[in-house]
Amino acid sequence: MNSENFSLSEKIVSSSYVRQGSQARRGHEQLIRVLLEQGKCPEEGWSESTIELFLNELAVMDSNNFLGNCGVGEREGRVASGLVARRHYRLIHGIGRSGDIAAVQPKAAGSSLLNKLTNSVVLDIIRQSGVRSASCCFVVPMATGMSLTLCFLTLRHRRPGARYILWPRIDQKSCFKAMVTAGFEPIVIENILEGDELRTDLDTVQKKIDELGAENILCVHSTTSCFAPRVPDRLEELAVICAKHDIPHVVNNAYGVQSSKCMHLIQQGARVGRIDAFVQSLDKNFLVPVGGAIIAGFDEGFVKEISKMYPGRASASPSLDVLITLLTLGASGYRKLLSERKEMYNHLAHELSTLAQQHGERLLHTPHNPISMAMSLSGLQAHSDQAVTQLGSMLFTRQVSGARVVPLGVEQMVSGQLFRGFMSHAEAYPCPYLNAASAVGIARGDVDLCMKRLDKCVRSLRKSAAPHSTEDTAPPAPPEEQDTAA
Amino acid sequence: MNSENFSLSEKIVSSSYVRQGSQARRGHEQLIRVLLEQGKCPEEGWSESTIELFLNELAVMDSNNFLGNCGVGEREGRVASGLVARRHYRLIHGIGRSGDIAAVQPKAAGSSLLNKLTNSVVLDIIRQSGVRSASCCFVVPMATGMSLTLCFLTLRHRRPGARYILWPRIDQKSCFKAMVTAGFEPIVIENILEGDELRTDLDTVQKKIDELGAENILCVHSTTSCFAPRVPDRLEELAVICAKHDIPHVVNNAYGVQSSKCMHLIQQGARVGRIDAFVQSLDKNFLVPVGGAIIAGFDEGFVKEISKMYPGRASASPSLDVLITLLTLGASGYRKLLSERKEMYNHLAHELSTLAQQHGERLLHTPHNPISMAMSLSGLQAHSDQAVTQLGSMLFTRQVSGARVVPLGVEQMVSGQLFRGFMSHAEAYPCPYLNAASAVGIARGDVDLCMKRLDKCVRSLRKSAAPHSTEDTAPPAPPEEQDTAA
Amino acid sequence: MNSENFSLSEKIVSSSYVRQGSQARRGHEQLIRVLLEQGKCPEEGWSESTIELFLNELAVMDSNNFLGNCGVGEREGRVASGLVARRHYRLIHGIGRSGDIAAVQPKAAGSSLLNKLTNSVVLDIIRQSGVRSASCCFVVPMATGMSLTLCFLTLRHRRPGARYILWPRIDQKSCFKAMVTAGFEPIVIENILEGDELRTDLDTVQKKIDELGAENILCVHSTTSCFAPRVPDRLEELAVICAKHDIPHVVNNAYGVQSSKCMHLIQQGARVGRIDAFVQSLDKNFLVPVGGAIIAGFDEGFVKEISKMYPGRASASPSLDVLITLLTLGASGYRKLLSERKEMYNHLAHELSTLAQQHGERLLHTPHNPISMAMSLSGLQAHSDQAVTQLGSMLFTRQVSGARVVPLGVEQMVSGQLFRGFMSHAEAYPCPYLNAASAVGIARGDVDLCMKRLDKCVRSLRKSAAPHSTEDTAPPAPPEEQDTAA
Amino acid sequence: MNSENFSLSEKIVSSSYVRQGSQARRGHEQLIRVLLEQGKCPEEGWSESTIELFLNELAVMDSNNFLGNCGVGEREGRVASGLVARRHYRLIHGIGRSGDIAAVQPKAAGSSLLNKLTNSVVLDIIRQSGVRSASCCFVVPMATGMSLTLCFLTLRHRRPGARYILWPRIDQKSCFKAMVTAGFEPIVIENILEGDELRTDLDTVQKKIDELGAENILCVHSTTSCFAPRVPDRLEELAVICAKHDIPHVVNNAYGVQSSKCMHLIQQGARVGRIDAFVQSLDKNFLVPVGGAIIAGFDEGFVKEISKMYPGRASASPSLDVLITLLTLGASGYRKLLSERKEMYNHLAHELSTLAQQHGERLLHTPHNPISMAMSLSGLQAHSDQAVTQLGSMLFTRQVSGARVVPLGVEQMVSGQLFRGFMSHAEAYPCPYLNAASAVGIARGDVDLCMKRLDKCVRSLRKSAAPHSTEDTAPPAPPEEQDTAA
């Protein structure tokens, strides 16, 4: 209420109480003021009531909520269903304009503010999470894969003659398709086995550049977060190579914001070499629904170029989700989540290692992977050929989600390319294994329950040389893909 | 509640009342059954309570809502904010898999059902709206422009050598950028003036094909819904040409679902010639928030190919919105909206024509445009050079949205291409004009209020040869773009 | 947002758009201003977004929502469940103080405003609905019966020696219990049969006053809205008698606000004689959930005395519901509902009369009852003894609610008093009958569907002299009570 | 969804995924089954999604949500505003029937279930909280005071000749008014000072019984939870006296459920003597909005008699709130809240004691009061006459709520009775003091912030012999009443 309405209220209830109420209102407005002024994630999270107040304020600034508006255009932000209007807080106009997804809309000052603030708050968090020198970013309502595609399409205009993308292998469909969809030919760089870890083969990268010619290479497309025993790419070295050959470098940082190691790699890469853009998933890093990504970079001009490549307006829904979430958590709440994740990583590693030993397996030694780990299943496979895949179905049936079983020798065609040893990031990894990850939001209960069920399943499989129980034959093993980017 | 719980309830309250309650529950389930069985938009709309019951049922089928789930993956559908969880009805996993946006997710049976049903219900409505022989469609959480880009990227794999897209000019940035972003060179076909109407220049299309070679042309990219005095492209003839030369044909049907004429054009084009895909906006046709589109076609194989090009999962938000909306309206409710729109079109035309006469202007004669119309502003321009653009700002300030003023002689660069006479779809349209449209959801009040304000503005501008009042100089005239696709 | 925040916003998005947004905000505030200033129901209903904005504004004025509050009292408005907090818009402190349900709470300026405004808006509607000279009223979170009890308890303090309440019979339990619960002895005045109507026996009222002594009579307790063939009491004559003998007069106007006739009776009664208070249900008149009532009167002092009798704070929920509802409808929306009700009354009367004739029954002639009507069931009873009660169960099973069957000769004890001919308001009404009412919110579909099902039921009962089908024996006929006050 | 719909879903998405979804649904249903079967508060809290599923299930059982219902009654559960319908989960019919607030409604099986289950779950919690032998209770949508009135009105029918209620003094308006409103004459029993504590004067109670005659006494009305230095009444001894003289005994247990000591007193009183009913507030014990109470007792017959005294239906809103809250918390969650409260009590006592010493005051020694405590303000008063009341305003202005300042010598009329030394429960307590309480839901932050602000205020007051700063003179000291029952 404005001051006039507060004055009127004083005639109805005691003025000292109203004055206190009006002062309390200023408390909320003060939080909003700081946000508008600084464009940063507030250190302490906001209450639901401040957030809803703020969103309602934004909504009344959009023309579809003007009480006296009359619309004779073809897009007036009308909504037929009250359920739909409410779930979007009546913010209907989306973000961006036909020219640029980051542009301001005349009809929707509130939605435009939402868009700008979200990008600004998200940039703040990316910096706080380790990429201190990131200069610009924007939220896009597409998953990581399609966002990578957009980056590649933008680069095409800078390098019209380039046809190839150098890509250290990571077995996940959408990041591969991102390149194919953009119309490029991925050059798969097989990983090198170092101990248990699969790491970037820098020599082959260099060799391929020489072979194909730098000017024919659109970019190097590297990856941070990934399933063990693959580990984050050697970003620094790749960045140096890119700088040397003047080749753009796009990093798939799908769920890497949650790991200080991944973020550090990007920061270092950009410092010593070249990184043009890095792309991360909203849902995997910020505990929001699937469907959004952040495209970030170090050169504001290039990031804006990408945002201008998106033809047309876009859904504000992912921006709204991440803004609500970050305002709710505050920077301190997000840091707390990240530190809990780290703690759970250690707990998971300890538990999985213990369990492995009990069953004659071992936790693979992958110290460079800060999120995912793997337990060998060599013994289980020795026991029975089918046991490894059976383990997958059994875990699915027992509501253990995300524990991915990787058998040997899977072959898979993806967009016309045959991958041998698919899912394991290598043509012939030495042993089958099971993945587990400690991702942001994981709870101790997740780990403990998973260990208990896993133990039971392995135990039961090892007992029976015979085919496993009927219950578990029924469900077709759902091939849990590795979602580095999705 | 299941039957066991109903039985237990009978011990607590009278069994005859419980039995009636359980019978009533079956009423809701019956509606759901018909939807699942037929996959069609229900004839009569559902109540909010049936819809919410249904969405809650879907949500409990997703693993993030399993009471006994434990997750050790990198994407577990966790949500940090209760506000966010609730606004998505706890459907967090999005739609699709990394391989295919239309694929089923093992972790999310409910979201998968939502996705499949939405596509099926939307297809039903597209057929009912006039494209009877459409065979397949899917909702994509991108606006029309980016969806067109996806179609072009898919075609690239079929026609690797093609570089050009033939495009009858329509002055709207995002559909132009859609081609550039996909990496193609648009060949702009200027329109022909027939009476007041701007229509497709078929001869030039044919000439360009001969000139460039059919095999070098990725596709013809035509448009239905557009701002008058441009009218929908001659789809039948274009489709025949495409068929003859074996050139793909993609139609931008941005807000054409609401018009039986536009839909009829597509149906006829596909019958007599070739249309590979037609793309329409969700928000402009179905009164939902900005950010989704429908990609539809006649060949299931090709449409699936497009859906497989989308790398990674995607936001379920636009699908959820359109499903809620269509279940709320029912097919009959949607038909009613369309017929009200038609009625308002006539009302608007009548009112605008009357107003035009009073001010010495005229309603341009554009009978082929079923949605948009235009009133000349020749007199106003004669009166004062600035008056035409001033009219735009004045209407904006007076909360008339969507009434677009088009002055003469605007030049605009879009992605490196210069457009003369931008906004008017022609290098030199004979007169400046004002657009108004009767789009789905428009109310009589919109028309009447707009006429009243417009009348006042024109009157005031004609009175003063002198610069207009201070109030209206302040706001920079917001260049309302033509959002054929956005 | 305050002006400072708007200014900051102008640095983020274009200032002319922000200015328009801020202007739009003033539109909402203007509506709130008028409400605060005049305390009247707005003529036109508010949008949901204005209402929610307003409720959020009220909520931030309550101490439980102060960002810097610390509480060390025993009642701090804390809420454990987010679901609960949200459904009350975070207005937790209820209304009133321990001294007075109408008092202002220091801790809750927002809730206090809500309470005051609700009472003021409701008074406006009561006046507009016909009781123009009502001077004061308040909403109380108790149903009509308990509210009547509160009135009687208040009167006790004015008339400590009085033991009796004169009560023209109306067969509904809660208004009878209202007197017994308050500790008084109801003197039942049997009604007089005039034509088909049951009307107040004024002579007996007078006789009882003479017999018991005016000073021993707490009050006359009369009724307006009731089930036909009883009709509203002769309020004017009763009011004159009360004035003459200086006896208080309390009117049970349970669902009478919706009828201009009932309201006119009260207005007239107060003009020519004495009415101390009249009580009406919130749910039955204003389409809100069960549980609130309005206590109104002509002497502000007496109404305040009643409000001070309520010991302790009270739920704000019914006040919130009725305020939301009246702001949504606006005075014009409420008037529209009332006129539709009247129209449906005529429709129902016509349909029921036609149906009656087809089955050899007749619509009882009860012109003084503006809401309820009755169709005789004489023929049905002649046909079979059980058929009348069977009709009741059959209608219940067929989801016809509110159509009450009244057989002859029911005896019922209520709080120690035996009522012969219970449900019919008379010891021996000439015939059994079926009631139907046209109450506010009724739709044409209700009437038509009811007629169809009723016709089928009567037809089927008349066909079979034999016991009715198994289906209908199962459910125990639910004795639908007459809810004059509930 | 029922099994038929699950089968249909299997045709749309993979059957193994659907099967898992359907199995997950059974998880929710299983929780509901246990609730229906046992009627107890679940040990572990439910997720929001289970709760909403359950409430939606209840709602579809009510006739206003029947898809095929037609209504021709005067009360059909229609709702005009969507906001209102949703916030009540479409449960509109309230609870009870005109005969009995605990009765089942034919039109509303769902609401009836809600009512029964709430009463049952609440009884479970009362037993678990210490009154193991409670046999029956019900939630009533009235605050504690009005609920006490209802108890007294019920007793009147058992003891028609009784006029007096014996009431050990407690300075809170609504519990006093509860007796006056019911039409009885309270006999105030002044408390005895024992050390710092004010305790029940049993001798005077006995003397008054002898003096007035047991048969003329309606009941003894005692109190547990109260503001220090008053402590809970000597319930055991009072109960024994009541039993001896056959006098009913009603206990005001306003916020006593949260204290095992208060609950133990009631349990013991009932074991060794007589307690007919004990009444507690919903909001103060269960963190829900103001407006509900629980009436409980040991004799099912008597409790039912009370429930039958409530004339008419009633709001389901308080029942809904407490049910949602207890299902959310679970029994374990509620126990946790209680144990945190106890811990905070110790923390508060320690902090307040330390602060007192620093300012030359002391924490009064009131070991029998488990919730409230008091710090003397003797030094402050010695310093300046006005300082004590100024302290009250200063705390209010600084958003410290619930810290009540009690000066000496206040006189107050309540319903015609003069109380000397009002607020202090005694005509002449030795010193002024400040109250603070550790009530359920209190957080460490509340205590610490309060101490900080209190320290500042006292310090500033002691510094200035002169009148305090302008800022604090403005607001009128809001007389924070002692809300033992409200």
Please say which residue of D300, D326, D352 terminates a domain: D326
Residue D98 annotated in ligand binding: yes
The distance of Cα D168 from the centroid of its chain, to the nearest Å, equals 19
Same domain, C316 and C386: no
D475 to A16: CB separation less than 8 angstroms, yes or no: yes
For the record, the structure tokens of C127 come out as 């006046």
Amino acid at site B225? S
Minimal-distance CA residue of chain B relative to D82: B48
**D88 inside 8 A of chain C by CB:** yes
Regarding whether D345 and D320 lie in a shared domain, the answer is no
Domain end point (choices B303, B326, B349):
B326
Using CA atoms, how far apart are residues D376 and D395, in angstroms rounded to an integer? 16
Kindly state whether B68 is in contact with chain A, defined as any CB-CB distance less than 8 angstroms.
yes
Q: What is the mean pLDDT of residues B253-282?
A: 98
The amino acid present at C368, given as its one-letter code, is H
Same domain for D472 and D424 = yes
Which 258-287 residues of chain B touch chain A by CB within 8 A?
A: 281, 283-284, 286-287
Do D239 and D286 have their domain in common? yes
CATH code (residue D391) = 3.90.1150.10
Name all chains with 3 or more CB-CB pairs below 8 Å to chain A. Answer: B, C, D
D20/A82 touch (CB, cutoff 8 Å), yes or no:
no
For residue B232, the Cα-to-chain-centroid distance in whole angstroms is 15
Closest partner residue to B109 (CB to CB) among D20, D48, D52 is: D20
Residues A367 and A434 in one domain: yes
What's the mean pLDDT in B98-116? 91
- B19 to chain C, minimum CA–CA distance in Å? 9
What's the CA gap between A442 and B198, in Å, rounded?
A: 60
* C340 and C453 part of one domain: yes
- Do both C296 and C392 map to the same domain? no
Task: List chain B residues with CB under 8 Å of C394.
Answer: none
* Pairing mode of beta strands D192-194, D197-199: antiparallel
Q: What is the pLDDT of residue C384?
A: 86
Q: Are A49 and C60 an interchain contact pair (Cβ–Cβ within 8 Å)?
A: yes
> Subunits that touch chain B (at least 3 Cβ pairs < 8 angstroms)?
A, C, D
- Cα-based distances in Å from A167 to A180, A200, A204, A369: 12, 10, 11, 19
Based on its alpha-carbon atoms, the radius of gyration of chain B, rounded to whole angstroms, reads 25
Computed on alpha carbons and rounded to an integer, the radius of gyration of chain C in Å comes to 25
Residue B387 and residue B367: Cα distance in Å, rounded? 28
Torsion, CA B458, CA B464, CA B467, CA B468, rounded to 10: -50
Contact list in A for residue B107 (CB cut-off 8 A) is: 401
Q: Which amino acid belongs to residue A348?
A: L
| Alpha helical stretches, state H, D287-316 | 300-309
Positions in chain C whose pLDDT score sits under 50: 466-486
What distance in Å separates residue A273's CA from the closest CA in chain D? 46
- Domain membership flag for residue C39: no
Q: Is C28 on the interface with D (CB under 8 A)?
A: no
Which H helix or E strand runs over A80?
none
Question: pLDDT tens, B357-379?
Answer: 999 999 999 999 999 999 999 99
Q: A66–C25: do the CB atoms touch at under 8 Å?
A: no
Whether residue C95 lies inside any domain: the answer is no
Residue of A nearest to C119 (CA): A12
Q: How far apart are CA B3 and CA A332, in angstroms?
A: 48
- Residue D149 token pair: 């009135």
pLDDT at A484: 41
Strand pairing of B433-437 and B404-406? antiparallel
Of B26, B32, B113, the CB nearest to D12: B113
Pairing verdict, β C372-376 and C411-414: unpaired
Residue A240 lies in a domain: yes
Are D241 and D280 members of one domain?
Answer: yes
Q: What is the pLDDT, as a whole number, of residue D2? A: 86
Of C5, C28, C56, the CB nearest to A33: C5
Sheet holding B217-223, edge to edge: B136-140, B293-297, B277-281, B249-252, B217-223, B164-168, B185-189
Write down which residue in D326, D355, D378 finishes a domain: D326
Least confident of C469-483, D258-272, D403-417: C469-483
| CB contact set of B67 (below 8 Å; sequence gap of 6+) | D24, D27, D28, D31, D47, D50
Q: Which two tokens stand for residue B72?
A: 């050790």
Q: What residues 386-425 of chain C have any CB closer than 8 A to a CB of chain B?
A: 396-397, 399
Residues B27, D57: C-beta atoms closer than 8 Å? no
Q: How far is the CA of D307 from the CAs of B132, D103, D138, D142, D247, in angstroms?
A: 64, 9, 8, 12, 21
The whole-angstrom distance between A16's CA and the closest CA on chain D is 5
Letter for the amino acid at B261? Answer: K
Residue position matching structure tokens 């990504």: A293
Which residue range forms the structural domain that includes residue C382? 334-482
By Cβ distance, the residue of B75, B175, B437 closest to A73 is B437
- Picking from D315, D313, D173, D154, the residue whose alpha carbon sits closest to that of residue C182 is D154
Tell me the residues of chain D between 104 and 123 that have a Cβ less than 8 Å away from chain C. 106-107
Best residue in C47, C53, C98 to probe D by mutation, most D CBs within 10 Å? C98
A313 belongs to an annotated ligand binding site:
yes
Q: Alpha carbon of A436 to those of A353, A354, A453, B270: distances in Å?
A: 12, 14, 13, 51
* Per-residue pLDDT at D322: 98
Q: Check D25 against B52: CB less than 8 A apart.
A: no
By the CB < 8 Å criterion, does C58 face chain D? Answer: no
**Measured torsion, CA atoms of residues C283, C289, C292, C295, in degrees rounded to the nearest 10:** -20
In a domain, A352, yes or no: yes
Answer whether residue B57 is part of any domain. Answer: no
What whole-number distance in Å separates Cα of residue C199 and Cα of residue C176? 18
Considering the domain architecture, whether residues C319 and C189 belong to the same structural domain is answered as: yes
- Please report the DSSP string for C80-146 in residue order: S-HHHHHHTTT--S-B-BTTBTTSPPTTBHHHHHHHHHHHHHHHHHHHHTT-TT--EEEEESS-HHH
Mutate: best of D20, D56, D398, D471, partner A, most A CBs <10 A: D20
Strands C400-401 and D70-71: parallel
Write the DSSP string, B353-396: HHHHHHTT--B---TT-SSEEEEE-HHHHHH-TTHHHHHHHHHH
> Of C19, C82, C396, which is closest to B82 when you measure between CB atoms?
C82
User: Which of B323, B361, B367 is CA-nearest to residue B345?
Assistant: B367
At D454, is the secondary structure helix, strand, or coil?
Answer: helix
Domain identity same for B5 and B145: no
Average pLDDT, chain B: 94
pLDDT for the residue C482 = 41
Q: Are D151 and D279 in contact (CB under 8 A)?
A: yes
pLDDT digits (tens, 9 = 90+) for B412-448: 999 999 999 999 999 999 999 999 999 999 999 999 9
| Ranges under pLDDT 70 in chain A | 465-486
Joined together, the tokens standing for residue B121 give 């219900």
- The amino acid that residue C479 corresponds to is P
Q: How far is CA D63 from CA C210, C399, D93, D149, in A?
A: 48, 8, 9, 33
Give a yes or no: residue C425 inside a domain.
yes
**Res B481 pLDDT > 70:** no
Q: Which of D114, A312, D208 is nearest to B483 (CA)?
A: A312
Q: Is C79 on the interface with D (CB under 8 A)?
A: yes
Q: Is residue B424 left, alpha or beta, with left meaning phi > 0 and alpha meaning psi from -120 to 50?
A: alpha
Q: How many domains does chain C have?
A: 3
Tell me, yes or no, whether A446 lies in a domain.
Answer: yes
Does D229 fall in a domain?
Answer: yes
Q: Is C447 on the interface with D (CB under 8 A)?
A: yes
> Does residue C28 belong to the interface with chain A, where contact is any CB pair within 8 Å?
yes
Interchain pair A478, D17: CB under 8 A = yes
Average pLDDT (D128-151) is: 97
Enter the pTM of the model: 0.95
Q: What is the CA radius of gyration of chain A?
A: 25
**Chains contacting chain D through 3 or more C-beta pairs under 8 A:** A, B, C
How far is it, in rounded angstroms, from Cα B262 to Cα D377? 83
- Interchain contact, B13 vs D109, CB within 8 Å: yes
**Contact status of C459 with chain D (Cβ, < 8 Å):** no
- pLDDT confidence of residue C465: 54
pLDDT at D465 (0 to 100): 54
Q: Cα dist. D267→B205, D275, D279 in Å? A: 94, 9, 13
E runs forming strands in B225-281: 249-252, 277-281
Size of interface B-D (CB pairs under 8 A): 160
ipTM confidence: 0.94
Measured between CB atoms, does D90 come within 8 Å of chain B? yes
- The string of DSSP letters for A444-473 reads HHHHHHHHHHHHHHHHHHHH-SSPPPHHHH
Picking from C346, C434, C143, C130, the residue whose alpha carbon sits closest to that of residue C256 is: C130
Q: How far is B388 from chain A (nearest CA, A)?
A: 18
Dist. CA C231–CA A20, nearest whole Å: 52
Tokens of D93: 């019919």
Collect all residues with Cβ–Cβ distance below 8 Å to C11 and sequence separation of at least 6: none
CA torsion, points C459, C464, C469, C475, in degrees to nearest 10?
70
Task: Name, in order, each residue with C-beta under 8 angstroms of B319's C-beta and a sequence gap of 6 or more.
Answer: B95, B114, B115, B118, B119, B139, B141, B292
CATH number at residue A286: 3.40.640.10
Chain B hits for D20, CB-CB cut-off 8 Å, are 61, 63, 66, 109
Please give the structure tokens belonging to residue A67. 């009480």
**Res B465: pLDDT:** 54
The tokens of C21 are what? Answer: 């947004």
DSSP state of A38: H
Write down the residue that tokens 């099994």 correspond to. D3
Mark yes or no for CB contact A14/C50 under 8 Å: no
Clarify whether residues B135 and B22 are in a common domain: no
C449's tokens: 């569907």
Of the candidates D207, D278, A486, which has an alpha carbon nearest to the alpha carbon of residue B105?
A: A486
State the pairing for strand pair B372-376/B433-437.
antiparallel
pLDDT above 90 (res B11) = yes
Residue-wise pLDDT for B188-219, tens only, equals 999 999 999 999 999 999 999 999 999 999 99
CB contact under 8 A, D20 and A399: yes
CB distance A189 to A202 below 8 Å: no
Task: Based on the fold, state whether residues C156 and C198 are members of the same structural domain.
Answer: yes
DSSP for A222-248 reads EESS--TTB----HHHHHHHHHHHT--
